[in-house]
Structure 1
Amino acid sequence: MAWPTRVPTYLTYERPWMNHDLSAYLTPAADAPAASFRGKYPADFFRQPVETNLLAWHLVGGLDFLTVAEAGAARLTDGHPTSLDEWVERDGLKALKVKLRGNDAAWDFDRLQAVAAVGLPRGVELFTADFNCTVTDPAYVNAVLDRVKAALPELWSRLSYVEQPFPYELEAHRIDVHSVSDRCPLFLDESAHDWRLVRLGRELGWTGVALKTCKTQTGALLSLCWARAHGMQLMVQDLTNPMLAQLTHLLLAAHTPTIAGVETNGMQFYPAASAPEAMVHPDAYRRRHGRVGCASLRGPGFGYRLAEIDRPLPLLRAVAPG
């Protein structure tokens, strides 16, 4: 049988392209007898059908201006939004990820309240709270969540999950986090660079996993499969992906049954960096109506369509030996 030699990458994550099933790479948790990887391939855990029109999550940094008035004289005039209210209105944003301090509960609550005050009247529907790996006691997170639930019920009803409050060195900090995940879905991020750590996280009470292509494509896929087999929730998050990195990022999200869309913030931090790629894949680099798209990806590999992208590359310089 002659196999085609130019196929999309995601079609190769099954037989006959893979030499082994997932049982060669993954081991189920001891307390999950129904989980099995025998005869299973990554494609068995992908979203069906693939979703190429994705809800876009915007990152709200701890130092970001929330309103034009707050920005004041610091407001930029480069044609791009400076403050959160401008971003929400221009891009039609529906989902916000809020960076918190994790060492100042009053500030964290006030920040969530302030972001909600900007987002909710403008149509934002979903929020997440990212405590940024700085918390060491679950009681801290519980107290913030309980205060939000009591004082900000609309925000509470739209809080999708809490992200990585605790140190990312999971093996060194084996904190029981069941009390947090009993309140709100709790997602591993920095810790989840290996499926074995996802397994440990589940034992400690984590209920979800944030996947990132920067942790390697293979690592992300193995974590995806292990997590899905054990009933954990999934998200695909950004590390400010520009240029071609954004395309592999969105492809992972398109194939992953995330709880809601994909985090994508490259257009916040260097919007002009991907201009050549955006000429071919416009929906991948500009959020419209709160969404991004990757339907333009097609052909072999990751579907980059490199021949159509006018990306000038620096010339190689000859280096004299010695």
Structure 2
Amino acid sequence: MVPDLPESLPVWHLVGGLDPLDSSELRGDEPDDGYPVHLREWIRRDGLTCLKIKLRGNDSEWDYRRLLEVGRISAEEGVDHLTTDFNCTVTEPAYVNDILDHLAREDSSTYDRILYVEQPFPYDLEMHRIPVHSVADRKPLFMDESAHDWKHVRLGRELGWNGVALKTCKTQTGALLSLCWAKAHGMSLMVQDLTNPMLAQIPHALLGHHAGTIMGVESNGMQFYPEASIREARVHPGLYQRREGRLDLSTIRGPGFGYRMEEIDRL
């Protein structure tokens, strides 16, 4: 039995490494296009409760300071969940462990908000067979770039990874195969975004529902090029505008993926 589609899903916002966090970091050359230009504005406009923090992975002082800064804003603005993305640049588990342990000692509130850690290590697991059990013992450790093939997921589990991030842009079939293998072997799941605009947003959100993720779905198309999806947003407004920290799936219905193509003036 396929479960009924929920009305909405929690949605994650991407905090880029160069993104200003509040008005004190603005330089004066930000676009004046009606969209938020710093993190606090995004949180308040979209009611965000989940933030994915991009880190460098090769500068531990910068990474730790960034976590403290975003953690402070999260506490002040009522954000519940964080995740860290070290960008596949880390080569030693101790790098991540030291940051997490330092954070647990000095800012336990931010540490507790971290729901999982996204792929810190190089994506080619065959070439970089790094045992990562010590990181996974601290926080759920999710494969991302390495998870495009279920055989890589199998190798990752042997090395200590205990979660898988799925992306529909790497093909629906690949995502489903990785999902099935991961679920069969007790691994947690997440659905993440490489910026899905227009119709691509719909199967992305649907996978987030059906996969049974650790917490909703990441969706950042409305951050990077919101105008690209204006036509689709007229039919599915809640899929292209994050409100109260969620995506609204209630307009998805009908055959196929529930696109409602006949109502979208795309051609």
TM-score by length of 1: 0.81
Identity within the alignment, %: 63
Q: Once the two structures are superposed, what CA deviation does each residue of 1:198-237 show, in whole Å capped at 9, x if it has no partner?
A: 1100000000000000111011111111111111000000
Letter of the structure 1 residue corresponding to residue 193 of structure 2? D
Q: Check if 1:167 corresponds to 2:122.
A: yes
Deviation of 1:74 (Å): 2.7
Counterpart in the other structure of 2:58: 103
Counterpart in the other structure of 1:295: 250
5+ residue gaps, structure 1, are 1-42, 313-322
Q: How many aligned residue pairs are there?
A: 267
Answer yes or no: is the 8 Å Cα contact 1:135–1:166 preserved in 2: yes
| Aligned counterparts of 1:288 and 1:254: Cα–Cα separation in 2 | 17
Q: Check if 1:147 corresponds to 2:102.
A: yes
Deviation of 1:300 (Å): 1.2
Q: Check if 1:158 corresponds to 2:113.
A: yes
Candidates 62, 66, 78, aligned match of 2:33: 78
Answer yes or no: is the 8 Å Cα contact 1:238–1:263 preserved in 2: yes
Answer yes or no: is the 8 Å Cα contact 1:52–1:254 preserved in 2: no
The CA RMSD over aligned residues, in Å, is 1.1
| 3-state DSSP of counterpart to 2:24 | helix
Distance 1:181 1:149, change over 3 A: same
Distance 1:68 1:75, change over 3 A: farther
| 3-state DSSP of counterpart to 2:26 | helix
Counterpart in the other structure of 2:74: 119
Answer yes or no: is the 8 Å Cα contact 2:5–2:249 preserved in 1: no
| 3-state DSSP of counterpart to 2:228 | coil
Answer yes or no: is the 8 Å Cα contact 1:186–1:207 preserved in 2: yes
Q: Check if 1:308 corresponds to 2:263.
A: yes
| Aligned counterparts of 1:137 and 1:293: Cα–Cα separation in 2 | 40
Counterpart in the other structure of 1:286: 241
Answer yes or no: is the 8 Å Cα contact 2:150–2:174 preserved in 1: yes
| Aligned counterparts of 1:141 and 1:49: Cα–Cα separation in 2 | 39
Runs of 4+ in 1 over 2 A off after TM superposition: 48-52
| Aligned counterparts of 2:127 and 2:256: Cα–Cα separation in 1 | 38
TM-score by length of 2: 0.97
| Aligned counterparts of 1:296 and 1:259: Cα–Cα separation in 2 | 24
5+ residue gaps, structure 2, are none
Q: Check if 1:128 corresponds to 2:86.
A: no
Answer yes or no: is the 8 Å Cα contact 1:95–1:126 preserved in 2: yes
| Structure having the higher Rg | 1
| Aligned counterparts of 1:94 and 1:74: Cα–Cα separation in 2 | 28
Q: Once the two structures are superposed, what CA deviation does each residue of 1:137-168 show, in whole Å capped at 9, x if it has no partner?
A: 11111111111111110011111000000000
Letter of the structure 1 residue corresponding to residue 166 of structure 2? L
Answer yes or no: is the 8 Å Cα contact 1:51–1:255 preserved in 2: no
| 3-state DSSP of counterpart to 1:274 | helix
| 3-state DSSP of counterpart to 2:138 | coil
